[in-house]
Structure 1
Amino acid sequence: MALPRSAPPPDPIAPDRPAPAGTCDTHIHLLGAAGEAELWDKRAEDPADGWDFDAYLDAYRVQMAALGIERTVIVQSILFGTDNSLVARGIEALGRETTRGIGLVDDAASDADLDDLVAQGIEGVRLNYVHGGVLSWEGVEAMAPRLADRGLHVQMLLRADRHMADLAPRIRALPVPMVLDHIGWPDLAAGIDEPGFRALRDTLDHGNLWVKLSALYRHCPAPFDAADAHVAALLEANPLRCLWGSDWPHIMLGDARAAPAAVALDALDRVCPDDDTREAVLVRNPARLFGF
């Protein structure tokens, strides 16, 4: 059975207000054509037809210019499993001074595997509780001391209402930072006092937890105002642990509908209480976490 193809990214537009100098997009993917990296045999879809690594890179550079992005974090896509070569290639192409990566390893990753990540400019490893993957929570807990020794952190995609209440104490016990993707993927209809999202907010006060205010289009349609209360609640809980990401080029959409990343930047601007908080989310917080 043929797999669905990811769609090309939407054309970029400018946000209503320019991003401040030093703004970091902490969540993008750089894909490639079949043959440029090894596709994972359990992937849910294939890369877009007619798009190779250079095409994705050129398109992302256009987006950087449109939004005012100066720094980037490239996240390994599960489409390519543990072959992190496109992340490493993207870091070199965009420049090591302004680009970092998040890689994917399995539970059996060796010290040499982790050392390779560090050498390539990769700052963390990803655990995916929503779509599945090759790294487990038990693997993360066992690996955490070795990650800490190398200054690596864990990035996790979970569903707050299903997972956070159980995982919160275990996240607090980790010796490394944990970064949650996509506002913790909450159940928007359940409100900000849903127990899992409340546990996320409470845990955000703990120094090891961060959250990305990213991929709002996966939760609600543009202009994403249905997520305003949740984004505002996270900013109120701890604005110094919030990051922003576009989730470009918007792969594995399911029933979601992608929108230009500028709409997501405008959504952040809409709920930020002041310009200092906005600059913290876009500039200072990622600089601190990723070492820019």
Structure 2
Amino acid sequence: MSQYLTPPPDYAPRKPRMKVPKGAWDTQIHLFGPASEYAFDPDSPYYSDEVSAESAIAMQDQLGLARSLLVSGGGYGLDYLHLEHTLARYPDRFRGVIFPSAQTDDEELARLHAMGVRGIRFVSDRRARNLPRIQPDVAARVRQFDWPVHFYPHGIDLVEYSDALMALDSDKIVIDHLASVPAAGGVDQPAVKKLLEMLDTGRVWVKLSGPMRCTDEEPPYPSVAPIASALVRHAPERMMWASDWPHVNMVGRTMPNDGDLLDLLAEWAPDEADRERILVTTPEALYGN
């Protein structure tokens, strides 16, 4: 597969205008490199220059965030060595999520749990060919560690995959990036209705993140606001926020500033108590132990 270089993030995030509560989390970032030590999966469509843990921490400090959930980069496929090394260096700053394989046994899961891994991630068929699809056996085995199962759909995929997700032996299912629903479809489209239905089960959480994955608009992605706001109104206690830094795959598009992305939360969740839950209480309950 031909690989392209994904653009770098904006390394000068603005201070948020919004009051950021103490102990706030960013529930999805990725880190990469150096390439001499961590090779990209040849089936990944992209590769990246180094995006270091130190630069991520500087960004988080600027935004007033205390902890981050480090999701193993899709560019590495099933290889989570980079994540392991980062967790070992910064155990108080990061927790982790891996892409598992069917061969990830209980002994390996226990070792990863001790290092700070707190979840697994699957993707839909249209999302990426080098990343794992839903694996019910693995999802059942991580329940012993109380790990959430994360799922990243593509477009309106959630309608197709919802039954398989809800059939998993898991009471913690996290849908990434606003379910990637096309914002142009609005709040009444089937994928949004399905997401609200899943939230009502009490087993599902949603990341208020990746608005650029839902639309081709320029920042601040105005067509996403009605969907994000509707989700917050429906179940604020089941929402989390994430930057998705460093925003891979933004070729030919405006790179967002992460201070501006965090300030979108004040529009989507105007109530300060809801933002406290979204940024602190909920992610701490899912990942903080």
Shared fold by TM > 0.5? yes
Displacement of 1:165 after TM fit? 2.2
TM-score for the superposition, normalised by structure 1:
0.90
Check conservation: 1:201, 1:233, Cα contact below 8 A.
no
Unmatched runs of 5 consecutive residues or more in structure 2? none
Task: Map 1:149-160; keep pairs closer than 5 Å.
Answer: 149-159=144-154
TM-score for the superposition, normalised by structure 2:
0.91
- State which of 242, 255, 259 in structure 2 corresponds to 1:245: 242
Displacement of 1:188 after TM fit? 1.0
Displacement of 1:255 after TM fit? 5.4
Instruction: Tell me the residue number matched to 2:208.
Output: 213
1:108 matched to 2:109? The reply is no
1:72 matched to 2:68? The reply is yes
Other structure's SS at 2:240 match: strand
Other structure's SS at 1:124 match: strand
One-letter code aligned to 1:199: K
1:195 matched to 2:190? The reply is yes
1:173 matched to 2:167? The reply is yes
Task: Map 1:120-135; keep pairs closer than 5 Å.
Answer: 120-129=115-124, 130-135=127-132
Displacement of 1:257 after TM fit? 3.1
Displacement of 1:173 after TM fit? 2.7
Once the two structures are aligned, what percentage of the paired residues are identical?
27
What is the alpha-carbon distance in structure 2 between the residues aligned to residue 199 and residue 104 of structure 1? Answer: 25
What is the alpha-carbon distance in structure 1 between the residues aligned to residue 182 and residue 92 of structure 2? Answer: 37
- State which of 226, 231, 241 in structure 2 corresponds to 1:229: 226
What is the alpha-carbon distance in structure 2 between the residues aligned to residue 12 and residue 238 of structure 1? Answer: 29
What is the alpha-carbon distance in structure 1 between the residues aligned to residue 250 and residue 176 of structure 2? Answer: 15
Instruction: Tell me the residue number matched to 1:257.
Output: 254
Displacement of 1:160 after TM fit? 5.4
- State which of 133, 136, 139 in structure 2 corresponds to 1:141: 136
Q: Structure 1 residues 131 and 2, CA, compared in 2 at 3 Å: closer, same or farther?
A: closer
What is the alpha-carbon distance in structure 2 between the residues aligned to residue 18 and residue 59 of structure 1? Answer: 22
Check conservation: 2:149, 2:174, Cα contact below 8 A.
yes
Q: CA RMSD in A?
A: 1.8
Displacement of 1:236 after TM fit? 1.6
Unmatched runs of 5 consecutive residues or more in structure 1? none
Other structure's SS at 1:240 match: helix
Check conservation: 1:6, 1:46, Cα contact below 8 A.
yes
Other structure's SS at 2:254 match: coil
One-letter code aligned to 1:165: V
In the TM superposition, what whole-angstrom CA distance separates every residue of 1:176-202 from its partner, at most 9, and x where no partner exists? 211111100011111111112110111
Instruction: Tell me the residue number matched to 2:35.
Output: 34
Displacement of 1:21 after TM fit? 0.4
Check conservation: 2:6, 2:251, Cα contact below 8 A.
no
What is the alpha-carbon distance in structure 2 between the residues aligned to residue 152 and residue 209 of structure 1? Answer: 13
What is the alpha-carbon distance in structure 2 between the residues aligned to residue 188 and residue 2 of structure 1? Answer: 29
Displacement of 1:104 after TM fit? 1.3
- State which of 128, 134, 158 in structure 2 corresponds to 1:164: 158
* Structure 1 stretches of 4+ moved >4 Å: none
What is the alpha-carbon distance in structure 2 between the residues aligned to residue 64 and residue 40 of structure 1? Answer: 27
